[in-house]
Structure 1
Amino acid sequence: MMDQRVIRGLPREMSINDVKEGLVSQGIADAEVQQMTSRTTKKPLPHFLVKTKMPEKLLEIQRLAMLTVSFERKKKSTEPSQCYRCQRYGHTQRNSRLAERCVRCGEDHSSTSCSLPAPPTG
């Protein structure tokens, strides 16, 4: 099983290939690397997810591509997932087979077509 770690300290513009090459040069050849993205904006973050069978070797690395980096365990969300389609917990909109339910009034229609005003933000 591959362990997951997050690399912090690299610029968001850095390519995945550069990260992989840096890891290979440090003796980690089996690494799978993905750039993490913001959940809301979907833009790339300056964090890279590394999957490897040698997580203990990652802890020895202090510099990658001449930059100071740190490795952390990927944090699992402590909040239950909520479906934005049916408003129930335990699954996401992508996997929902239930009827659409409005988050504002609880009726069987989308929130965008609800006649109630949106709640104030802030």
Structure 2
Amino acid sequence: MRGVPKDIPIDEVKEDLLSQHLLVQSIRRIQNHFREPLDLVLVSGTAEANDKTTKAAFFKIRSVCFLSGVKAEHPHKRALPGQCHNCQFYGHSSRHCLNPARCVKCLGNHGTAQCTHNRDTDGPPACVLCKQKGHTANYLGCPRAPKRAHPPEKVAPRRDAAHARCLINAKLRLHSGGTM
């Protein structure tokens, strides 16, 4: 939910949503990367709240704790996994990384802050992930960088022999007057 003032405790927000007959399981305040609270609140509904009418009622909410200007919206999902700024691999953050440091600009086994690589004197950067020169490890065009997932194509249902026989028999019955 967007627009919930930072000074309103999340317990009060949860109580207000429950008083509006919404099936709320948990609620938490979203924080920025400095761990400062934002005016965003993530609300998780109970299993019973997974039907269309309950979801529709939730997205019609315009006020919480007698304050208007609140809007319910779907959470934004990241399209790509995050990249660690310590080891440069994807899928985890540097806060939880146990791998040795690797530079984003050169093939060195040091942190990026300690790198002395200069583009003018040392040439173009080199990627520590694919070992190629010409791009850094955070370049999305790197062959080792994760690609955006495309939605799966709809595949026609597979028709097996038993299904085909069933269709043929049904057509024969239809054309022969219903008796075989």
**Aligned positions of 1:49-64 closer than 5 A:** 49-53=42-46, 54=49, 56=55, 57-64=57-64
For structure 1, the residue ranges without an aligned partner over 5 or more in a row are: 1-6, 118-122
* Relative contact order, higher structure (CA 8 A, sep 6+): 1
1:70 corresponding residue in structure 2: 71
Q: What is the RMSD computed on CA atoms of the aligned residues?
A: 2.0
Instruction: Tell me, yes or no, if structure 1 residue 15 matches structure 2 residue 9.
Output: yes
Q: Is the 8 A contact 1:36 1:45 kept in 2?
A: yes
Task: Return the index of the structure with the highest Cα Rg.
Answer: 2
Q: CA deviation at 1:18?
A: 1.2
Using the size of structure 1 for normalisation, the TM-score is 0.77
Aligned length: 110
CA distance in 2, matches of 1:86, 1:10: 37
Using the size of structure 2 for normalisation, the TM-score is 0.54
- The structure 1 segments of at least 4 consecutive aligned residues displaced by more than 6 Å after TM superposition are none
Q: Greater share of strand residues, 1 or 2? A: 1
**Aligned positions of 1:32-111 closer than 5 A:** 32-39=26-33, 41-53=34-46, 54=49, 56=55, 57-68=57-68, 69-111=70-112
For structure 2, the residue ranges without an aligned partner over 5 or more in a row are: 119-180
